[in-house]
Amino acid sequence: MSQRLAEIGVDVHYRHTVGDNLGRIVPVLELALTRSDVVLMCGGLGPTQDDLTRESIATVTGRPLQSDAEAEQRLREFFARRGLTATPNNLKQATVPEGGRLLENTCGTAPGLLVEHDGKVLIAVPGPPSEMREMMRREVIPYLTERLGGRPMAVHARVLRFADIGESTLVAQIDDIIAEQTDPTVAPYAKPGEVTLRLATKAESAAEAAVRLDAMEARLRERVGGNIYGVDDETMEVAVGLALRQRGATVAVAESCTGGLIASRITDVAGSSDYFLGGVVAYANEVKQRILGVPEETLADHGAVSEPTALAMAAGVRDLYGADYALATTGIAGPGGGSEEKPVGLIYLAVADAAGTLCVRHNWPGTREQFKHRVSQYALNLLRKRVLGIEMER
């Protein structure tokens, strides 16, 4: 919601969360009305008794709830189409504070609310993210854009995504640029397995903003461009897909400790069937041997978590699928299964192509979830760099 508001030049200064309790919601709404021109609420529009958004707006504005005949009819039809009867609780969703109006919900049963009151405006949208997004797009943003009158100064942002570098190392290299922080502003964010920089500028047009954002991006690329793998919504799985498309190449994966996460991330991208042939999740040793062709001696001499096994898995899955590239992971996700020699967090990642195979060893202790995500991020970047012919630093 904040992103969409920023795009039309509405500054979001405060976000308040309160429980489903009228005695707490009402004072928070009153406070919000004293310090903001627009108060946007999310959630509490459902049919159950702890859905109190309608009642709280009615209380704060002194406008009693009234039933909207047209909305009530739509609700009754919605339930009838599904062979159900609308309950009185369901019909509560067709009520609106006096003088306000309902916002149509094209993805669910709960309409939104819009009440203009004392020169301010209260707007309520449903909590389920898909319904909220659609109502913001169809109703709230057009309304606010018109209310703001024409072409306001909007925030235009660009996100640069980094791999193989930590937040403090990155910040140390561009400390002077961040310090200037004038226009565009540059803000670092650290997420598991990834650091991003968000560049933001206020401008009347996207073209005007692009000039400033381009200039700042160029400055940052000069310093730390080698670690930038993507821009904006270009996640690592998207970047891998772009690289493979560019070369007209295909990939297959063999996963032990990541358990299917790498394949799942690759297939999160629409159209990935063009370059992703498939994968093998080889949890049991016998599977590594029989399906991927890892030699029995390799497993006996070096163990399942070893460089020779990772290399054999990558070569094996590449052969099996007839892919141009292959990725393989074998490691110890924990919390059990570790030893002094092979501790929890140990990981071997291998990549294979026509030119040969390459293996990288790391040790990343953490929770099972963190480990799997970090390994998948690193593995996808390893593949991306191999496909694009970028040298590995380590």
* Piece in contact with a second copy (CB under 8 A), picked from 68-76, 82-90, 134-142, 380-388: 82-90
- Judged by CB under 8 A, the chain residues 353 through 392 that form the site for a second copy are 366-370, 372
Q: What is the DSSP letter of 391?
A: P
Tell me whether residue 158 or residue 372 sits nearer to a second copy (CB atom): 372
Tokens 């461009």, located at residue? 225
For the CB of residue 220, give the shortest distance to a second copy in the complex, in Å.
15
Q: According to CB under 8 A, which one of 56, 59, 90, 381 is a site residue for a second copy? A: 90
Q: According to CB under 8 A, which one of 9, 152, 188, 338 is a site residue for a second copy? A: 188
Tell me whether residue 152 or residue 366 sits nearer to a second copy (CB atom): 366
Tokens 């920023």, located at residue? 6
Amino acid at 236: M
Q: How far apart are CA 281 and CA 292, in angstroms?
A: 10
List b or e across 33-51, with b for residues whose CB sees 16 or more CB atoms inside 10 angstroms.
Answer: beebebbbbbbbbbbeeeb
CB contact set of 247 (below 8 Å; sequence gap of 6+): 324, 387
Q: Are 277 and 321 in contact (CB under 8 A)?
A: yes
Angle between helix 368-388 and 236-247 (nearest 10) = 30
Tell me whether residue 67 or residue 273 sits nearer to a second copy (CB atom): 273
- Judged by CB under 8 A, the chain residues 318 through 337 that form the site for a second copy are 320-321, 333-337
- Judged by CB under 8 A, the chain residues 212 through 271 that form the site for a second copy are 253, 255, 258-264, 266-268, 270-271
- Considering CB under 8 A, how many residues would be counted as binding a second copy? 74
Position 87 contacts a second copy (CB under 8 A)? yes
Q: According to CB under 8 A, which one of 34, 49, 340, 354 is a site residue for a second copy? A: 49
> What three-state secondary structure class fits 157?
strand
Tell me whether residue 150 or residue 322 sits nearer to a second copy (CB atom): 322
Q: Are 133 and 74 in contact (CB under 8 A)?
A: no
Position 273 contacts a second copy (CB under 8 A)? yes
Position 14 contacts a second copy (CB under 8 A)? yes
Position 279 contacts a second copy (CB under 8 A)? yes
